[in-house]
């Protein structure tokens, strides 16, 4: 029982892991050091073991660092897991999690709308080590479970995905996977720990791109992983120590600062996301809006079961599929800037084509990230861009 158990999440986020106020400083210092020195040989020896939940002397910043440690304790708590580690990017955390689960000859089942580079890692990179992947739509649990083979070692989930926001039934998938000894990995970047805790539904390893909501200010590239202490110990000794995808102290400190405002930022993104999504439904240029927060979201029941909210990310399919006009729409936007990523203060737009399982052709979809600007300014920007681009109406 920890002293934090009786506190609310927001209180835990502010204080957990920061019990030592170095020289009385209310905010922690950045421990910008590559190595740690020791009083004597026995302390030095202890520092070589970075496993287990109790605090040990630090040894080398590729394995652990006090600035990272504070953040990792908060993140583990926020995701209802025993242990957390931050990585140099979301992809560093994702690739480490997958490699921890597989060996030569293993098979993975993955959701076809997962993050693009994750898909490339599974589809194009891992086959060179004899690891193969079956991609499934994942709209019903049988889709995922029917793809399991005797050599399946991991199921890779992303619920919701970050373009079409398809959900997977986590509880059903994870209970079957666990009974068969298959590890489940879930990319929870869309929801952040504020709106969804996959561990509550039986997910084994949770990964995040902290470049998105956790950092929250578009000023760091970082990743995070949360899992059991036992699994994390193995990952620390192998994928973290040997592949070396650690985060540096300064971006960890920026993430620590970002995480303090995560609960209030997520509320703001939810509000503006729902506002813009509902408005888009009424625009004659829009064929379809993809957003889990809409009452018309096709997986509404699963959304209500698994998630406590939806964020600022959404997409829509224009009625007019003419590439030149869609590009003209994106070019006409003034507040929404053209750019990848999301989760920061600024609104962003990416026009892209999608061809997921279940669609018989490639379609243009416009993804919008709704940032922390004034919501009515965002609507005005979208409306003037529709008018200037001259997209066909339904």
Interaction site with ligand PLP (CB under 6 A): 89-91, 115, 162, 187, 189, 209, 211-212, 221, 223, 341
Nearer to ligand PLP, 115 or 156 (CB): 115
Nearer to ligand PLP, 223 or 318 (CB): 223
Q: Is 70 helix (H, G, I), strand (E, B) or coil?
A: helix
Q: Which residue is nearest to ligand PLP (CB)?
A: 90
Minimum distance from residue 281 beta carbon to ligand PLP (Å): 24
Minimum distance from residue 345 beta carbon to ligand PLP (Å): 16
Q: Of 308, 294, 303, 218, whose CA–CA distance to 266 is shortest?
A: 308
Minimum distance from residue 356 beta carbon to ligand PLP (Å): 15
- CA–CA–CA angle 93, 95, 97 (5° rounding): 65
| Contact yes or no for 184/155 (Cβ under 8 A) | yes
| Contact yes or no for 302/139 (Cβ under 8 A) | no
- The CA distance from 96 to 195, in Å, is 24
Nearer to ligand PLP, 223 or 258 (CB): 223
In our burial notation (b when 16+ CB lie closer than 10 A, e otherwise), range 299-332 reads beebbeebbebbbbbbbbbbebbeeebbeebbeb
Nearer to ligand PLP, 115 or 364 (CB): 115
Minimum distance from residue 287 beta carbon to ligand PLP (Å): 24
DSSP class of residue 105?
A: T
Phi-psi region of 200 (alpha: psi -120 to 50; beta: other; left: phi over 0): alpha
Q: Of 244, 204, 242, whose CA–CA distance to 225 is shortest?
A: 204
Pair of tokens at residue 71: 């953040």
Minimum distance from residue 119 beta carbon to ligand PLP (Å): 10
Minimum distance from residue 220 beta carbon to ligand PLP (Å): 9
Minimum distance from residue 168 beta carbon to ligand PLP (Å): 14
Nearer to ligand PLP, 92 or 136 (CB): 92
Nearer to ligand PLP, 50 or 266 (CB): 266
Nearer to ligand PLP, 329 or 342 (CB): 342
Minimum distance from residue 209 beta carbon to ligand PLP (Å): 3
DSSP 264-296: HHHHHHHHHHHHHHHHHHT-TTEEEEE-TTSTT
Minimum distance from residue 113 beta carbon to ligand PLP (Å): 10
**Burial category of 179 from C-beta neighbours within 10 Å (exposed 0-12, middle 13-18, buried 19 and up):** exposed
Give the distance from CA 94 to its chain's centroid.
10
Nearer to ligand PLP, 158 or 381 (CB): 158
DSSP class of residue 51?
A: -
């Amino acid at each position: 029982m920890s002293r934090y158990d009786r506190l609310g999440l927001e209180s835990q986020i502010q204080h957990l892991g920061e019990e030592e106020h170095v020289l009385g400083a209310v905010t922690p210092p950045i421990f910008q050091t590559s190595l740690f020195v020791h009083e004597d040989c026995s302390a030095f020896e202890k520092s070589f073991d970075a496993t287990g939940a109790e605090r040990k002397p630090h040894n080398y910043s590729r394995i652990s660092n006090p600035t990272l440690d504070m953040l990792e304790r908060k993140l583990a708590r926020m995701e209802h897991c025993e242990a957390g580690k931050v990585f140099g990017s979301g992809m560093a955390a994702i690739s480490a999690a997958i490699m921890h689960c597989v060996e030569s000859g293993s098979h993975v089942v993955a959701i076809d709308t997962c993050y693009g580079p994750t898909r490339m890692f599974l589809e194009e990179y891992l086959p060179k080590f004899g690891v193969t992947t079956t991609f499934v739509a994942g709209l019903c649990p049988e889709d995922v479970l029917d793809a399991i083979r005797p050599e399946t070692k991991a199921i890779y989930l992303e619920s919701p995905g970050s373009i079409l926001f398809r959900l997977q039934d986590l509880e059903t998938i994870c209970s079957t996977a666990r009974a068969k000894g298959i590890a489940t990995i879930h990319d929870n970047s869309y929801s952040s720990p504020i709106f969804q805790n996959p561990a509550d539904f039986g997910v084994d390893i949770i990964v995040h791109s902290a470049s998105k909501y956790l950092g929250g200010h578009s000023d760091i590239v970082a990743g995070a992983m949360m899992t059991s202490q036992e699994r994390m110990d193995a990952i620390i000794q192998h994928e973290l120590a040997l592949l070396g995808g650690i985060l540096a102290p300064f971006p960890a400190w920026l993430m620590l600062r970002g995480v303090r405002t995560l609960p209030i930022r997520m509320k703001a993104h939810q509000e503006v996301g729902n506002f813009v999504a509902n408005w888009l439904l009424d625009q004659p240029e829009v064929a379809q809006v993809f957003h889990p927060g809409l009452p018309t979201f096709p997986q509404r029941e699963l959304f209500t079961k698994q998630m406590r909210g939806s964020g600022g990310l959404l997409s829509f399919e224009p009625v007019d599929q003419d590439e030149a006009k869609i590009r003209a729409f994106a070019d006409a936007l003034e507040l929404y800037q053209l750019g990848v990523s999301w989760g920061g203060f600024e609104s962003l737009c990416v026009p892209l084509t999608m061809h997921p399982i279940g669609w018989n052709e490639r379609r243009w979809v416009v993804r919008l990230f709704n940032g922390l600007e004034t919501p009515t300014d965002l609507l005005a920007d979208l409306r003037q861009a529709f008018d200037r681009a001259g997209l066909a109406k339904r």
